[in-house]
Amino acid sequence: MLVAGKLRLAFHVMEGAAAAPLVVRLERRLLMLSGGLGNELDHRRRVVVLAQDQLASMLGASRQTVNAALKELKARGLVKVAYGPVEIVGADGLRALEA
45: CATH: 1.10.10.10
Rounded to whole angstroms, how far apart are CA atoms 6 and 82?
31
Number of domains in the chain: 1
- Mean pLDDT for 47-66 is 89
More confident residue, 43 or 93: 93
Higher pLDDT, 51 or 46: 51
Total-model pTM:
0.70
Specify if 40 maps to a domain.
yes
Residue ranges making up the domain that contains 85? 21-98
In a domain, 11, yes or no: no
Q: Is residue 1 part of a domain?
A: no
Q: Which helix (H) or strand (E) element contains residue 40? A: strand 39-40
Mean pLDDT across the chain: 78
90 in a structural domain? yes
